[in-house]
Amino acid sequence: MESLFPLFAMAIPIIAVVGGISVAIVRIVTQARLEELSRRERIAAIERGVDPSKLPALPGTAQEPYPHGDSRLRRAHGLLIGGLILVATGLGIGILAAAVEPSKNHWVIGLLPIFIGGALLVCCRVIWPRPS
């Protein structure tokens, strides 16, 4: 049983990375296929004489979640999400390390992700668009 622990310890991150990359690839391919099918459907409708202005918008061109393509707001949201995830991860690691061995100061391991997450939150605050 002890010889299986290192195997599982190495398999978990490998599976997570491969799974994440696979999900991203499948999502990109699926989105491209949906766009291709909607374009074909639109072309077929135009060939049959349908007014193009009465057709629904193509997928991906609908309401953009960020008004006027505001890249600063998009970047700020990304930093906010990343910062909150890292702070929560650091707190979880610190609490877990303190619970496993309370007599030692292993909780300090959680400080690195907490500080990195805090830096991302500060960056988010700096680039957040201010109302004019």
Across residues 96-119, what is the average pLDDT?
Answer: 87
Neighbours of 94 (CB within 10 A): 19
Please, which pLDDT band fits residue 118 given cuts at 50, 70 and 90? very high
Taking only the tens place, the pLDDT of each residue in 10-63 is 888 888 899 999 999 999 999 889 889 988 988 998 899 988 888 777 766 555
Please, which pLDDT band fits residue 117 given cuts at 50, 70 and 90? very high
Where exactly are the structural domains of the chain? 1-62, 64-132
Q: Residues 78, 70: contact at Cβ < 8 Å?
A: no
For residue 21, the model assigns a pLDDT of: 93
For residue 114, the model assigns a pLDDT of: 93
Alpha-carbon span 26 to 20, nearest angstrom: 10
CB contact set of 34 (below 8 Å; sequence gap of 6+): 59
